[in-house]
């Protein structure tokens, strides 16, 4: 486990509760107002305190030169990520040095600061990577148990394969969206009554799913699985993920092949990718896995998870303040990211740089740590009371869902910022046209 260097400080004034300390330095893609009409002006930045550090300018000034570059005057991070771990390490070290309180290169150059330090409030954030593929897992034992208890025999809540492998499905990369994108309520087939034919309707049970996702940093060749003890070398970083879910559409469609339209309309991610190097000091152990996984999933490193505090807030339209409806932790996840990636490739499946792989809903052991409204309101039988007296069993039009996450240790905080999405009413369909 990496140690935190408490002596490392920045010349930039950073609040103690900021997610974006000099120990973090997450990567994102941004543009400012004058660039909004030109997508080619989207470029890479790093979050530091209330600012975005413009990496494209640093690169052009010769202060961030990496082998094979330039990498940062581009609309996605894929080329930089694909350049490999040596460049990841060098970039992080160089950026930390430039931002440190003991380096005068940027600290004492006001003209350069004006060029490279932009207020986060003044920029627009974009999807940080081109996402070739999106996969969603189902790796929280508490969540899977809760769902199985609701809809199957409580004594056999987990299906037999659940404790043997990381269960997942391939989703739609085309609808991975960045935080701040409005989500239109989906419509589809519902079956309100067991004895009647289905109807076409707007989703009536729209839900959030509190997740994280990891970004693949190194691919593999088709037919060549990634070994579990090497899997960490293939992971660049993590984002927060709200994998929106249409529960009533899913209930009717998921047999026999699993989720489809209920999960294809929006998978919303935070704009900043927190690197695994930044998260290394917060490594911890996954829960005990019983039975012991098959050999290809058996990790040598027992510190195979991360202590990341996660929360969900719900803000109704025209409300003054949001209500925290969930607080949980990534460390509750039963299957690790390395196990997920290895299992995904064990048949020879090819993964690519920029692929995102969702954790699955992250629920803890107590009702206040459940990671979906399905669980929090227990399938609409226990509505949640919000500030101001409104109640919710599922997400209504006009509601904004806000997810946050951070790790903290020895006074050092490494955070993700937030993923925020507002729900708009369903579209009206005229099938006679």
Q: Kindly list the catalytic residues.
A: 143
Cα separation, 72 vs 80, whole angstroms:
7
- The residues pairing with 53 across neighbouring beta strands, listed in sequence order, are 46, 117
Q: How far apart are CA 97 and CA 109, in angstroms?
A: 15
CA dihedral sign, ordered 229, 170, 206, 320: positive
Cβ neighbours of residue 332 closer than 8 Å, sequence gap 6 or more: 140, 141, 142, 287, 362, 363, 364, 365, 369
Query: Residue 204: phi, psi to the nearest 5?
Result: -105, -10
Q: Hey, is 280 helix, strand or coil?
A: helix
- DSSP string spanning 329-398? EGGG-SS-HHHHHHHHHTT-----TT-EEE------SSGGG-SBHHHHTTTTTSPEEPTTS-EESS--TT
Element (H, E) at 44: strand 43-48
Contact present, 216 and 354 (Cβ < 8 Å): yes
First to last CA, the chain: 61
């Amino acid at each position: 486990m990496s140690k935190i260097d408490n002596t490392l400080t920045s010349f930039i004034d950073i609040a103690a509760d900021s997610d974006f300390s000099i120990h973090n330095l997450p990567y994102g893609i941004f543009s400012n107002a004058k660039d909004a009409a030109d997508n080619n002006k989207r470029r890479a930045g790093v979050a530091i305190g209330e600012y975005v550090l413009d990496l494209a300018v640093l690169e052009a000034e010769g202060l961030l030169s990496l082998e094979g570059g330039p990498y940062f005057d581009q609309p996605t991070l894929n080329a930089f990520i694909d350049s490999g771990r040596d460049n990841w390490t060098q970039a992080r070290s160089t950026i930390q040095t430039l931002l440190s309180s003991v380096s005068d290169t940027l600290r004492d150059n006001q003209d350069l600061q004006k060029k490279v330090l932009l207020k986060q409030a003044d920029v627009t954030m974009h999807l940080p990577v081109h996402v070739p593929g999106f996969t969603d897992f189902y790796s929280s034992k508490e969540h899977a148990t809760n769902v199985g208890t609701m809809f199957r025999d409580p004594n056999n809540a987990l299906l037999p394969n659940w404790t043997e492998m990381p269960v997942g499905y391939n989703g739609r990369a085309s609808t991975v969206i960045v935080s701040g994108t409005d989500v239109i309520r989906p419509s589809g087939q519902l079956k309100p009554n067991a004895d009647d034919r289905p109807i076409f309707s707007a989703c009536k049970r729209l839900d959030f799913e509190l997740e994280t996702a990891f970004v693949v940093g190194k691919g593999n060749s088709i037919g060549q699985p990634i070994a579990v003890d090497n899997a960490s070398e293939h992971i660049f970083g993590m984002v927060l993920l709200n994998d929106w879910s249409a529960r009533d559409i899913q209930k009717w469609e998921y047999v026999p092949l699993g989720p489809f339209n209920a999960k294809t309309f929006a998978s919303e991610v935070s704009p900043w990718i927190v690197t695994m190097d930044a998260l290394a000091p917060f490594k911890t152990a996954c829960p005990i896995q019983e039975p012991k996984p098959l050999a290809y999933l058996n990790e040598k490193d027992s510190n195979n998870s991360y202590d990341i505090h996660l929360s969900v807030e719900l803000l109704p339209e025209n409300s003054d303040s949001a209500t925290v409806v969930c607080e949980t932790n990534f460390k509750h996840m039963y299957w690790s990211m390395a196990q997920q990636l290895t299992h995904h490739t064990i048949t020879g499946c090819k993964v690519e740089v920029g692929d995102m792989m969702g954790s699955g809903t992250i629920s803890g052991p107590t009702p206040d740590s459940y990671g979906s409204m399905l669980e929090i309101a227990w399938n609409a039988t226990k509505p949640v009371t919000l500030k101001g007296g409104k109640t919710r069993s599922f997400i209504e039009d006009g509601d904004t869902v806000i997810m946050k996450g951070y790790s903290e240790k020895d006074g050092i905080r490494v955070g993700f910022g937030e993923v925020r999405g507002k729900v708009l009413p369903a579209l009206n369909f005229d099938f006679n046209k």
